[in-house]
Amino acid sequence: MSTGNMNLTLKVWRQKNNNAKGALVDYKLADISPDMSFLEMFDVLNEQLINKGEEPVVFDHDCREGICGMCSMFINGRPHGPKDLVTTCQLHMRSFKDGDTIVVEPWRAAAFPVVKDLTVDRSAFDRVIAAGGFISVNTGNAQDANNLPIPKMQADAAFEAAACIGCGACVATCKNASAMLFVSAKISQLALLPQGQPERYRRVQSMVAQMDAEGFGNCTNTGACEAECPKGISLENIARMNRDFASAKFISEETV
């Protein structure tokens, strides 16, 4: 069993609700174990706050194994903290040093309003998916799965795009609060598969329209989203989305 020996200073964003004004509040933590996850360190902080009769810090989290996409802290200026390819829940305190000061803020984007403390509202992502991030096939209409061979390379590429966990780190890190990495990952997954072809151009138009309506910014190719994505979603997806979006104007006879 590990014993904790790290002493830390946390500066945590506290905000009562969406209408309230928020501020960074300082907390001291002692005897933190390097084997703790970042969220377990927050559990320790919250236990201390409750014992002192204060309200704990509210933050989103659920699976704590890097796949549900719920955790969302902006740590020392980076979404999900200093390590590449991990979510906050998979970030461990061994990535920090004794005596460190750590600043923790919520995702910041107009389309992700703060709900409370470190929790934001990401329902805009759901509405983008509802606008077209699917294949229109009702239950019970499917043919035998192996009647449709798909080249492995293509299936693998679709899977890589589909690995997006919808956490919103791409939006949080982008200076324009653009959601293009998220939106293009879904568009790419379906555009790479034969099942996705019938709705391909209609899909890209309606999803992009919804993305704009939600107030996400445009892409200026800085690539921060790709660098910060905990699942390594590639910038190529944005290129593919832009190509499809341009093509759609010529190909699609449907108006969206």
Site for other proteins, residues 33 to 92, rule: CB under 8 A: 33, 35-37, 39-40, 43-44, 47, 50-51, 53-56, 58, 60-70, 85-86, 90, 92
Q: Does 158 bind other proteins (CB under 8 A)?
A: yes
Site for other proteins, residues 189 to 218, rule: CB under 8 A: 189-190, 193, 195-196
Residue 31, classed as helix, strand or coil, is strand
* Token code pair at residue 66: 């890097």
- Are the CB atoms for 190 and 154 separated by under 8 Å? no
Alpha-carbon distance of 27 to 46, in angstroms, equals: 11
Q: Does 126 bind other proteins (CB under 8 A)?
A: yes
Q: Does 163 bind other proteins (CB under 8 A)?
A: yes
Which of 21, 26, 99, 149 forms a contact with other proteins (CB under 8 A)? Answer: 149
Q: Does 1 bind other proteins (CB under 8 A)?
A: yes
In the bound state with other proteins, the residue whose beta carbon lies nearer, of 60 and 228, is 60
Kindly determine how many residues on this chain lie close enough to bind other proteins according to the rule CB under 8 A.
81
Q: Does 230 bind other proteins (CB under 8 A)?
A: no
CB of 128 to other proteins, least distance (A): 9
Q: Does 135 bind other proteins (CB under 8 A)?
A: yes
Residue 22, classed as helix, strand or coil, is coil
Burial of 81 (0-12, 13-18, 19+ CB in 10 A): buried
Site for other proteins, residues 10 to 29, rule: CB under 8 A: 16-17
Alpha-carbon distance of 32 to 76, in angstroms, equals: 18
- Are the CB atoms for 178 and 125 separated by under 8 Å? no
In the bound state with other proteins, the residue whose beta carbon lies nearer, of 101 and 123, is 123
In the bound state with other proteins, the residue whose beta carbon lies nearer, of 79 and 133, is 133
The answer for residues whose C-beta is within 8 angstroms of residue 241's C-beta and 6 or more apart is 180, 183, 184, 187, 188, 204, 208
Q: How far is residue 191 from each of residues 83, 134, 154, 188, measured CA to CA in Å?
A: 31, 11, 10, 5
Q: Which range of residues in 100-108, 186-194, 233-241, 243-251 is near other proteins by CB under 8 A?
A: 186-194
Q: Does 4 bind other proteins (CB under 8 A)?
A: yes
